[in-house]
Amino acid sequence: MATPVEQWVDECARLMKPAKTVWCDGSQAENDRLVDEMLRDGTYVALNEKTHQRCYLHRSNPNDVARTENLTFICTRTKDAAGPTNNWMAPQEAKDKVRPLFDGAMKNRTMYVIPYILGPEKSPYSKVGVEVTDSPYVVASMRIMSRMGTAALHRLGSSDDFVPGMHSLGDLSPDRRFILHFPEEKLIWSVGSGYGGNALLGKKCFALRIASFMAREQGWMAEHMLLLGLEGPSGKTTYMAAAFPSACGKTNLAMMVSSLEKEGYRVKTIGDDIAWMHVAKDGTLRAVNAEAGFFGVAPGTNLKTNPNMMTAFDHDTIFTNTAMTAVSREPWWEGIGTEPHEDLIDWKGQKWTPGSGPAAHPNSRYTVAADQSPSISSHWEDPEGIPISAIIFGGRRAKLAPLVYEARDWNHGVFVGATMASETTAAATGAVGVSRRDPMAMIPFCGYNMADYFQHWLDMGPKIKNAPKIFHVNWFRKDSNGKFLWPGFGENVRVLKWIADRIEGCAAATDTPIGFVPTPSSLTLDGMNISRESLDELLSVNSSDWAQETEATAKFFEIFGDRLPQEITNQQKALSDRLARTTVAAK
């Protein structure tokens, strides 16, 4: 008798009519065979074997270089269940419209079946997905990003408890590209794109959109968060989860080389993008990294911004849409630390010239196994996860938000997350640098109505014993000349230390209308070159700017109508009242 997964794979084969079906075992030998094929047909370009062992460059179709949020749909039975921040299609309509694009899509191609585990192999919190795809690049990427192959099939056995994901490159036309999620059925369909977040279905599609829906049903949290441990001089590690929008530095923060290393503060990496968090039997909030690798933005990565990553990806790494040096065949991107030069081949495979725009695509990526980072924590695969003491929200805000502040309590912290905003980046198609509201950095990834998601967050607080303290950070504040006030990167450890000190109850703060802001002397700034004026500006809270901001957030919340939790409205009102009081007091 065929198992549920075999039956589903048969159905996929009947629809897409591949020349053959290959069940992936995740082995090195299988990967070697795929590499050879991809080198032969041009999917991969070999890089320098001496400096970058077993590293390859993949150039995706130039029309297919980022997540396409406008072509991404949540297909719940009712439009309300998907909510106003998602594109919606009724499930039957979506299937009727998109099934013809899958029909015969794999003729003369191989259909690869990728069983994979999200989360550590032996964790009770992990889940199995199965993706079918006609892209060997997707197979190789999923092998890095998840626990893929035989281990997943073993875990699944004859159970039907897996999330099926059907993927085909189709004809790569944006007109026939759809990324569909059916959260009620726990099903994913993706056609017409070979790009990371659209095509590696374990990542955003399952680990965030489908998982966030499951998490609400089952009482846990699937979040767009990095996970790190801050080791202190006493040997104690404080674990933190942080949500920043795409391409706002989650990877760099998670892998930071601390500027307070001599003082005994070190950052250990657990994950850089997706955290699954459960209330454990002892009542603590425990987090696992859903993934096994990093799919990070390459431009701007260099020995100063992320030295650990520079070490991690000198072997067994896939580079996507970076440039390369023609003679030495090494990957190259803007901000790598060397000037662009005539010897470059750009991300489209053309000789680069100074007038021809960026040599690497701004959303070019590396795909590398997490345990290749020298900063990886020895606890990163703990089946029970790591205990979270702090949750951090953040975004790119040139003005307004201070370097760091602490929310008054859990519910206020949920409000702080719900009012997050950030300037857009190249991680998704569309304009770059425009401010957009991005609650909990989940706008593109929440698989259901975001008003219900806020309520879920509010409901989780009381279930956790000693709920984590919630903070907001902003590394991107600028002065009136447009210069960043804070150097960021390795210096961000000073902010993490203040957060850890607040948890221990040993750092001072000023009680402001928006929350608790560090007093200048409570931050450890020894050995750092920052003027008192810059520091004051970084930590300042301007009540009239914040009053404007609360008007903007109130306007944003209107889209949720009656579904918005009363507590969010209460928090909004309480903040406005606190701001009004300080404005009056200041007069």
The residue within the footprint of ligand OXD, chosen from 30, 273, 330, 501 (CB under 6 A), is 273
What tokens were used for 305? Answer: 């911004």
CA neighbours closer than 13 Å in the CB half-sphere of residue 522: 21
For ligand OXD, the closer of residues 216 and 224 by Cβ is 224
| Partner that binds at residue 136, options Mn ion, ligand OXD, none, CB closer than 5 to 8 Å by kind | none
**Spatial separation of the C-alpha atoms in residues 504 and 85, rounded to whole Å:** 38
What Cα–Cα distance (Å) separates residue 320 from each residue in 47, 272, 444?
12, 18, 22
Query: What phi and psi values does residue 390 have, to the nearest 5 degrees?
Result: -140, 140
- Under the binding rule (CB under 6 A), the answer on residue 197 touching ligand OXD is yes
| Non-local CB neighbours of 19 within 8 Å, separated by 6+ positions | 106, 107, 108, 109, 110
Residue nearest to Mn ion (CB): 273
Residue with tokens 């999200």: 118
- Helix, strand and coil content of the chain, in percent to the nearest 5, comes to 35, 25, 45
Residue 232 binds which entry of Mn ion, ligand OXD, none, CB below 5-8 Å type-dependent? none
Q: How distant is the alpha carbon of residue 469 from its chain centre?
A: 21
In the complex with Mn ion, the residue whose CB is nearer, 246 or 372, is 246
The residues assigned a catalytic role are 248
For residue 196, the minimal CB distance to ligand OXD (Å) is 6
Residue among 265 and 380 whose Cβ is closer to ligand OXD = 380
Distance CA 211, CA 84 (A): 19
E strands in 134-236? 147-148, 163-168, 178-182, 187-191, 221-223, 226-231
Of 52, 67, 266, 286, which lies in the binding site for ligand OXD, with binding defined by CB under 6 A? 67
Contacting ligand OXD within 375-434 (CB under 6 A) = 427
Instruction: Name the minimum Å distance from CB 204 to Mn ion.
Output: 7
Subset of 124-183 contacting ligand OXD (CB under 6 A):
none
In the complex, the smallest distance separating the C-beta of residue 438 from ligand OXD, rounded to whole angstroms, is 11
Between 364 and 375, CB nearer to ligand OXD: 364
Confirm or reject binding of residue 193 to ligand OXD (CB under 6 A): no
Q: What residue ranges bind Mn ion (CB under 5 A)? A: 246, 273
Which residue, chain included where needed, has tokens 């924590």?
A: 377
In the bound complex, what is the minimum distance in angstroms from residue 439's beta carbon to Mn ion?
A: 15
Residue choice 295, 405, 415, 457 for contact with ligand OXD (CB under 6 A): 295
Binders of ligand OXD among residues 507 to 536 (CB under 6 A) are none
Residues binding ligand OXD: number (CB under 6 A):
7
Query: Do the Cβ atoms of 5 and 115 come closer than 8 Å?
Result: yes
Shortest reach from residue 533's CB to ligand OXD, in Å: 35
Tokens of 134: 């006609």
Query: CB count, 10 Å around CB of 536?
Result: 11
Q: Residue 295 or 332: which CB sits closer to ligand OXD?
A: 295
CA-CA-CA-CA torsion sign (243, 244, 245, 246): negative
**197 is in the binding site of which of Mn ion, ligand OXD, none (Cβ under 5 to 8 A by kind)?**
ligand OXD
Near ligand OXD in 214-253, by CB under 6 A:
246
* Interaction partner, residue 427 (Mn ion, ligand OXD, none; CB < 5-8 Å by kind): ligand OXD
Assess contact for 220 and 277: CB atoms under 8 A: yes
Tokens representing 24?
């992936």
Q: Is residue 560 within the footprint of ligand OXD (CB under 6 A)?
A: no
Residues in contact with ligand OXD by CB under 6 A are 67, 196-197, 246, 273, 295, 427
